[in-house]
């Protein structure tokens, strides 16, 4: 039976990894909502039944069995005459495990397709756990041939080309596409390229929500064959929206529907950090969070994000002053906590720090005071916060930024203590900008107050760890605008020292930053997970060895000596004989 109208619901939802029963319940609720909207078909996101990214958990046979059992239960539901569904799950076929999508309709599993192009870069490691499926053909659904490429399948040419050549009429794309800065534009450009090549319209459904460090931003859309955006779902929020498709002389087209604004730039970064923290806390069952509020810019931003994520009633801020804590910091921390409406306690650390110094005095006799004594302050604070966490159950949120994490300007088992860090992938200069942003703007679903939440004095005073008298960050580090630019060159762009110097940076400074970056790897391995907002975060994106003696020699790019190589004349033109 053919049809000239098709109503397809996009289920842009937040699955929880491993909660297969819970995800099935969400799928059932979404299907019920789609039925009320008159949908014929519900498009879910990649691996929806198990959650994404499953990593090595997907290799467990019991996990695979639970997913298949849930699929069969969902298939039986569709015998009620309601909408069909395209839903993702891991699928074992003999000795191969696939990233799959299944069509359930009229009480049965009507079709299954496997992901062909398995990504193996950045946060992805799919070739470790899945095997690629064959190039897919379209799925016949009520007289319409549906092409169902899965996420990465549209980032290259082959899968969509195969679908177009085998008669697909509409592309339905289930995705688990993580957020990083400017990702929406990149995705749209990829989609436009595939639509242009194939001449087929596309419905792109993307997951929303946080999974450890990775954030999925949703922002699903429908794109017609003429490249016009017909439907745009919101970013960072769940939505179930039914799109209407009609067959015309030029093929299928999506009727204009809801077009929500999609946050970009710093607003998107802020939203990602808030969503990542909210989902990490809620999905792991914590009643709330506790953090040290120092009167500095980093902890102020984290406190604001925590309140926006969870509400002030679930955020506990603690000021932990010592003899070097300024009156200015005490005032700023109090004003910040008051503006946010959180519980705020002051716990002086003079007594426990003095006790530690007393215990260690015989061992430290004759040695000058230095970093060891400074770190006692930070470690005392970390111990107190962890004790509060142990007693009341709230998770400690740590507050170190990417600049500090890059160069090791942080204390293991001290200010690095905590279960999660929402600003781990934000450089110090970006922390300032997001504070300024939050003071004039608030996300739609934020649970914190309107208006200024970071006192202006926090944004204008010189940053300091306040671990000794009159200490300033720039006593140990280059100015943050200089440091952050060098770090972006080294971390995100993997630039040579010579290239960074050519940008106008002092060579000695660049070498110092490079050295600190490598030396701090052991600290980063022990750091709390945190939200990914850049293309290369410390964690899944950047995997460097701890033991590493390489240093860039500040030389220009290497040019091979052609005289040393003999090109084969019997093999391909680029082959080399040794």
Please give the annotated binding residues, written as ranges. Answer: 121, 177, 183, 292-299, 375, 399, 404, 523
* Joined tokens for residue 269: 């970064």
Q: Is the dihedral of CA 155, 96, 98, 144 positive or negative?
A: positive
Q: Of 509, 518, 439, nearest to 481 (Cα)?
A: 509
* Torsion, CA 402, CA 404, CA 410, CA 416, rounded to 10: -10
How far apart (Å, rounded) are the C-alpha atoms in residues 437 and 444? 14
C-alpha count within 13 angstroms, C-beta hemisphere, residue 569: 0
The backbone torsions φ and ψ at residue 35, rounded to the nearest 5 degrees and listed phi first, read -65, -40
Identify whether the C-beta of residue 55 lies closer than 8 Å to the C-beta of residue 125: yes
**Residue of 14, 26, 46, 283 with catalytic role:** 46
Identify whether the C-beta of residue 405 lies closer than 8 Å to the C-beta of residue 238: no
Question: CB-based contacts of 248: which residues, under 8 Å, 6+ apart?
Answer: none
* Exposed/middle/buried for residue 310 (C-beta within 10 Å: 0-12, 13-18, 19+): buried
**Residue of 14, 26, 50, 115 with catalytic role:** 115
How far apart (Å, rounded) are the C-alpha atoms in residues 150 and 395? 36
Identify whether the C-beta of residue 487 lies closer than 8 Å to the C-beta of residue 477: no
| Structural Rg of the chain based on CA atoms | 27
- DSSP-based three-state secondary structure for 517: helix
User: How does 173-198 read in b/e, with b if 16+ C-beta sit within 10 Å?
Assistant: bbbbbbbbbebbeebbeebeebbeeb
Q: Please give the annotated binding residues for deamido-NAD(+), written as ranges.
A: 375, 404, 523
Q: Is the dihedral of CA 415, 417, 423, 425 positive or negative?
A: positive
Q: What is the DSSP string of 441-481?
A: ---TT--S-SS--S-HHHHHSPP---SSTT--GGGTS--HH
Q: Please give the annotated binding residues for ATP, written as ranges.
A: 292-299, 399
Q: Of 427, 407, 180, nearest to 298 (Cα)?
A: 427
The backbone torsions φ and ψ at residue 180, rounded to the nearest 5 degrees and listed phi first, read -145, 165
Q: Is the dihedral of CA 541, 546, 549, 551 positive or negative?
A: positive
Q: Give how far Cα 365 sits from Cα of 237, 350, 360, 519, Å.
A: 58, 21, 8, 29
Q: Where are the beta strands (DSSP E) in 235-373?
A: 239-248, 251-254, 289-292, 315-319, 343-346
46 in active site: yes
How far apart (Å, rounded) are the C-alpha atoms in residues 320 and 353? 11
How far apart (Å, rounded) are the C-alpha atoms in residues 284 and 271? 20
- DSSP-based three-state secondary structure for 496: coil
213 in active site: no
**Residue of 67, 151, 273, 317 with catalytic role:** 151
Q: How far apart are the first and last CA of the chain?
A: 63
Report the residue count for the chain: 578
555 in active site: no
Q: Please give the annotated binding residues for L-glutamine, written as ranges.
A: 121, 177, 183
Active site residues: 46, 115, 151
């Amino acid at each position: 039976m053919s049809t000239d109208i098709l109503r397809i619901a996009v289920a842009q939802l937040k699955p929880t990894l491993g909660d297969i029963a819970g995800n099935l319940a969400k799928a059932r609720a979404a299907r019920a909502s789609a039925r009320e909207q008159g949908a014929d078909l519900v498009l879910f996101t990649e691996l929806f039944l198990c959650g994404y990214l499953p990593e090595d958990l997907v290799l467990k046979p019991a996990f695979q069995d639970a997913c298949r059992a849930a699929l069969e239960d969902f298939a039986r539901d569709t015998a009620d005459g309601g909408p069909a569904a395209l839903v993702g799950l891991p699928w074992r076929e003999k000795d191969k495990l696939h990233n799959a999508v299944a069509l359930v309709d009229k009480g049965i599993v009507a079709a299954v397709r496997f992901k062909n192009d398995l990504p193996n870069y950045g946060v992805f490691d799919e070739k470790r756990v899945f095997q690629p499926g064959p190039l897919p053909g379209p799925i016949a659904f009520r007289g319409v041939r549906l092409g169902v490429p899965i996420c990465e399948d549209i980032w290259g040419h082959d899968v969509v080309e195969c679908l177009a050549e085998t008669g697909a009429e509409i592309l339905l794309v289930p995705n688990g596409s993580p957020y990083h800065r400017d990702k929406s534009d990149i995705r749209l450009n990829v989609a436009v390229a595939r639509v242009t090549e194939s001449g087929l319209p596309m419905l792109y459904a993307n997951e929303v929500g946080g999974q450890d460090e990775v954030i999925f931003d949703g922002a699903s859309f429908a794109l017609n064959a003429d490249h016009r955006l017909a439907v745009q779902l919101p970013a960072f929020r769940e939505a179930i929206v039914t799109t209407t498709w009609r067959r015309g002389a030029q093929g299928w087209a999506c009727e204009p529907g809801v077009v929500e604004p999609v946050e970009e730039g710093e607003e998107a970064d802020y939203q990602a950090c808030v969503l990542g923290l909210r989902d990490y806390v809620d999905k792991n069952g914590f009643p709330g969070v506790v953090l040290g509020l120092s009167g500095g810019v980093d902890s102020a931003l984290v406190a604001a994000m925590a309140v926006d994520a969870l509400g002030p009633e679930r955020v506990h801020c603690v000021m932990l002053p010592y003899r070097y804590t300024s009156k200015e910091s005490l005032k700023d921390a109090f004003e910040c906590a008051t503006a946010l409406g959180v519980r705020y306690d002051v716990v002086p650390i003079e007594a426990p720090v003095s006790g530690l110094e007393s215990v260690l005095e015989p061992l430290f006799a004759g040695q000058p005071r230095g970093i060891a004594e400074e770190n006692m302050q930070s470690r005392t604070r970390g111990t107190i916060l962890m004790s509060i966490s142990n007693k009341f159950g709230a998770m400690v949120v740590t507050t170190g930024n990417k600049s500090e994490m890059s160069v090791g300007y942080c204390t293991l088992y001290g200010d690095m203590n905590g279960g999660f860090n929402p600003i781990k992938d934000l450089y110090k200069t970006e922390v300032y900008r997001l504070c300024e942003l939050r003071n004039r703007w608030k996300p739609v679903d934020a649970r914190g107050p309107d208006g200024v939440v970071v006192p202006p004095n926090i944004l204008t005073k010189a940053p300091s760890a306040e671990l000794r008298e009159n200490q300033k960050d720039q006593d140990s580090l280059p100015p943050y605008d200089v440091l952050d630019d060098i770090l972006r060159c080294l971390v995100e762009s993997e630039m040579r020292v010579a290239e960074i110097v050519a940008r106008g940076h002092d060579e000695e400074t660049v070498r110092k930053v490079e050295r600190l970056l490598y030396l701090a790897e052991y600290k980063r391995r022990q750091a709390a997970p945190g939200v990914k907002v850049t293309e290369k975060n410390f964690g899944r994106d950047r995997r460097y060895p701890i033991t590493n003696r390489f240093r860039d020699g500040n030389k220009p790019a290497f040019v091979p000596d052609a005289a040393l190589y003999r090109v084969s004349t019997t093999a391909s033109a680029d082959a080399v004989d040794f």
